Amino acid sequence: MSAAFPGDHPNCSMILCGPLKDHVMTFLHYLKSCPPSAVRSLILQKKPSIRNMSSTAGDLGLRPASVVVLHRSLAPAFEKFCQANSGPLPLLGRSEPGKWTLPTLGTAPDTRTGRPQFQKYEFGACTGSLASLEKYSEQLKDMVTFFLGCSFSLEGALEKVGLPRRDPAGHVGAYKTAVPCVHVAGFCCPLVVTMRPIPKDKLERLMQASCSTVGQPIHIGDPELLGIKDLSKPDYGDPVVCQPGDVPVFWPSQLTGLEAVSSCKTPLAFTSAPGCTVMTDLKDMESPANRLTPEGIPEVHLISQDPLHYSITSASAARKIRELETIIAVDPGNRGIGHLLCKDELLRASLSLSHARSVLITTGFPTHFKHEPPEETDGPPGAIALATFLQALEKGVSMIVDQRALSLFKKLVEEAVEQGVMKTQTPILTYQGGSAEAAQAFLCENRDPKSPRFDHLVAIERTGRAADGGHYNARKMNVKHLVDPIDDLFLAAQKIPGISSTGVGDGGNELGMGKVKEAVKRHIRNGDVIACDVEADFAVIAGVSNWGGYALACALYILNSCEVHERYLRKAVGPSRAPGEQNWAQALPSITKEENMLGILVRHKVRSGVSGIVGMEVDGLPFHSTHTQIIQKLLDVTSVSM
């Protein structure tokens, strides 16, 4: 065991051992018997002290805090700024003008002559580092001190899961991001984050430890997704080096406060210097330790390899989505789809979609090639249900269909809006390219693979290209002559960083099912011929593909109603959404809306996939006995999460 005492330099410490170590241990036992106010007095003294002993302070009921000192006229706006961005700036308290201590700070000494170093700001520029603010006593009479919670206790959480400390020589680095904080009055700045490299097999344990103490991370994965170009060049402090197998994990940093002070360009302000804190027994009333229950501890799931990106959601939300996956996995046609199931594909697909900004959805399987139209009733309802909910989440949504079927799908969407199935129309596109270059040009702005137009492609009951280039229905009939090369877009997306894909199918011959093609060949009738060879990142298997579209919409509702996931999405900046605030329930699929949608298809002579009947059935299954039960079960699970 060791203890760190600061020397003349704020980042200097000594490791104690032998007889001196014994004296320190005796002193630490003495400190634990003292009231917090007495310990705080020692910590804040100007002479060398035990400041920086975060683990000992934690045992004593103390926590580190940084300070921001502003003119009283700016205090109301800065307080609102902290409240609007409570992730990086958890406000523990503020003083009255001219007073440096809060009533709850007991007998803590005046920190104007305290040990922690300060930075001085004039008109937005840092103009010096100070060991004392003593000579600014007159100016301080009109200034207010804010105490902000710090993330320095993160190292303790890492030790709890058996991760060795990798502290750099100075203080751990922090990075400015491209994520804007919510603006309040003159306070306008980017989020600042701190990073720790975590072995990927320790991520789950880290969640349990950190979320119960210092709060959940705001990003796990590629730093460029936050706008950070080089981890070896932090904006503050010193870098922590990633080892092979490590995943960068980012937490919000109180150094965001320095950026906020700089942004307001006030004539005079002071802040704690990076790496310097005071110790206080103030508590953040909304701290994660007070809010999280075991059900709220996040699960971590990989949603992208390029760029590397993990997402999180609460254990309870994940459990609900797994229930949805079980509901849609029933096999009413006895096709053997149970052999195609991959665990948590629905969960990971919905997590990826939740992070997406712009989604491209395709559907259309011309299985009835002797009829006009040749489409079937499975696919369009699920695609429109998903598009409707994505619209409610304010994401960009487009659909892409065969040129041959463009007029039909425009009418379907128009009537879906008229019937209240959709709120607004979505653009309907076509693609008839035919080369890898054309596909990339279609998916990217100005043909630039670094600027994709869409970040997620979804295929719901869309005919998929087989290994021989054909497009086969379940009876091995090739319908390639009715199909545009939309498969090429999914193939191109595999080579464009930042675009993910999901395929929803019920027989293995649908676009995206290449991910499970070996199982299709072994277990599905005619699988050796009909199996789709084009894979998606996520393969959602359902008894009827429409059910997969409904389940994705329900899963997105569950995720975006989950406090853990919602905070991760907004990077802990901005206000959290109040339950029901967005009124998303109206955008969910319902028995009434899906009955109306199927009625629209029937009026346009679209046929059931199995029977070929023009009527209220999908894949030969009657709507009012089979499909209504599945829809209601999905909604029952979803409503429990509300």
Per residue in 539-588, pLDDT tens? 999 999 999 999 999 999 999 999 999 999 999 999 877 555 567 999 99
Strands (E), 208-272: 219-221, 246-252, 269-272
Collapsing DSSP to helix, strand or coil, 302 comes out as strand
Res. 47: pLDDT tops 80: no
From CA 606, how far away is CA 615, in angstroms rounded? 8
The dihedral built from the CA positions of residue 197, 202, 204 and 209, taken in this order, carries a sign that is negative
Let me know: does 310 contact 206? Beta carbons within 8 Å. Answer: no
Strands (E), 326-441: 358-364, 396-400, 428-429
Question: What is residue 114's predicted lDDT score, i.e. its pLDDT?
Answer: 43
Question: Residue written as tokens 């599945």?
Answer: 630
Question: What is residue 282's predicted lDDT score, i.e. its pLDDT?
Answer: 65
Question: What is residue 251's predicted lDDT score, i.e. its pLDDT?
Answer: 94
Collapsing DSSP to helix, strand or coil, 221 comes out as strand
Question: What is residue 212's predicted lDDT score, i.e. its pLDDT?
Answer: 62
Collapsing DSSP to helix, strand or coil, 438 comes out as helix
Question: What is residue 55's predicted lDDT score, i.e. its pLDDT?
Answer: 42
587 CB-contact burial (10 Å; exposed 0-12 / middle 13-18 / buried 19+): buried
50-64, 339-353, 564-578, 616-630: which has the minimum mean pLDDT?
50-64
From CA 190, how far away is CA 193, in angstroms rounded? 10
Res. 7: pLDDT tops 70: no
Share of the chain above pLDDT 90, in %: 70
Res. 14: pLDDT tops 50: no
Res. 484: pLDDT tops 60: yes
Res. 625: pLDDT tops 50: yes
From CA 618, how far away is CA 595, in angstroms rounded? 11
**Of the ranges 13-27, 159-173, 290-304, 422-436, which is most confident?**
422-436
- Joined together, the tokens standing for residue 499 give 């675009």
Strands 125-130 and 143-149: unpaired
As a whole number, mean pLDDT of residues 596-602 equals 98
Question: What is residue 64's predicted lDDT score, i.e. its pLDDT?
Answer: 76
Separation in Å, CA 159 to CA 171, 203, 345, 619:
17, 13, 33, 55
Per residue in 506-551, pLDDT tens? 999 999 999 999 999 999 999 999 999 999 999 999 999 999 999 9
Q: What is the dihedral of CA 67, 71, 73, 75, to 10 degrees?
A: 0
Question: Residue written as tokens 């004039």?
Answer: 122
Q: Which helix (H) or strand (E) holds 92?
A: strand 91-94
Res. 422: pLDDT tops 70: yes
Let me know: does 471 contact 463? Beta carbons within 8 Å. Answer: yes
Question: What is residue 104's predicted lDDT score, i.e. its pLDDT?
Answer: 40
Residue that wins the pLDDT comparison between 207 and 6: 207
Per residue in 250-304, pLDDT tens? 999 999 999 999 999 999 999 998 888 777 766 654 444 445 566 677 899 999 9
Collapsing DSSP to helix, strand or coil, 374 comes out as coil
Question: What is residue 89's predicted lDDT score, i.e. its pLDDT?
Answer: 95
Res. 619: pLDDT tops 60: yes
- Joined together, the tokens standing for residue 161 give 């899961």
Give me the phi and psi of 544, to 5 degrees please: -135, 135
* DSSP code at position 473: -
Collapsing DSSP to helix, strand or coil, 312 comes out as strand
Average pLDDT value for the chain: 85
Q: Quickly state the pLDDT bin for 452 (edges 50, 70, 90).
A: very high
CA angle 519, 524, 527 (to 5 degrees): 80
Q: Alpha-carbon Rg of the chain, whole angstroms?
A: 29
Query: Please, which residues have CB within 8 angstroms of residue 3's CB and are 6 or more apart in sequence?
Result: 16, 21, 24, 28, 50, 53, 56
Res. 455: pLDDT tops 90: yes
Per residue in 104-138, pLDDT tens? 433 333 444 444 489 999 999 999 999 888 889 89
Per residue in 215-242, pLDDT tens? 789 999 999 999 999 999 999 988 988 8
As a whole number, mean pLDDT of residues 170-198 equals 93
Question: What is residue 153's predicted lDDT score, i.e. its pLDDT?
Answer: 61
Q: What are the DSSP calls for 432-468, one per residue?
A: ---SHHHHHHHHBGGG-TTSBS-SEEEEEEEB-BBTT
Collapsing DSSP to helix, strand or coil, 428 comes out as strand
Question: What is residue 83's predicted lDDT score, i.e. its pLDDT?
Answer: 94
For helices 256-264 and 75-84, angle between their N-to-C axes, nearest 10 degrees: 140
Res. 27: pLDDT tops 50: no
Query: Please, which residues have CB within 8 angstroms of residue 92's CB and are 6 or more apart in sequence?
Result: 65, 147, 148, 149, 280, 282, 283, 284
Q: Quickly state the pLDDT bin for 162 (edges 50, 70, 90).
A: confident
Question: What is residue 23's predicted lDDT score, i.e. its pLDDT?
Answer: 40
Let me know: does 491 contact 533? Beta carbons within 8 Å. Answer: no
Res. 5: pLDDT tops 60: no
Per residue in 351-404, pLDDT tens? 999 999 999 999 999 999 999 999 999 999 999 999 999 999 999 999 999 999
The dihedral built from the CA positions of residue 167, 41, 121 and 181, taken in this order, carries a sign that is positive
493 CB-contact burial (10 Å; exposed 0-12 / middle 13-18 / buried 19+): buried
Q: Quickly state the pLDDT bin for 56 (edges 50, 70, 90).
A: very low
Question: Residue written as tokens 């011309």?
Answer: 366
The dihedral built from the CA positions of residue 383, 388, 391 and 392, taken in this order, carries a sign that is negative
Q: Which helix (H) or strand (E) holds 491?
A: helix 487-493
As a whole number, mean pLDDT of residues 445-472 equals 96
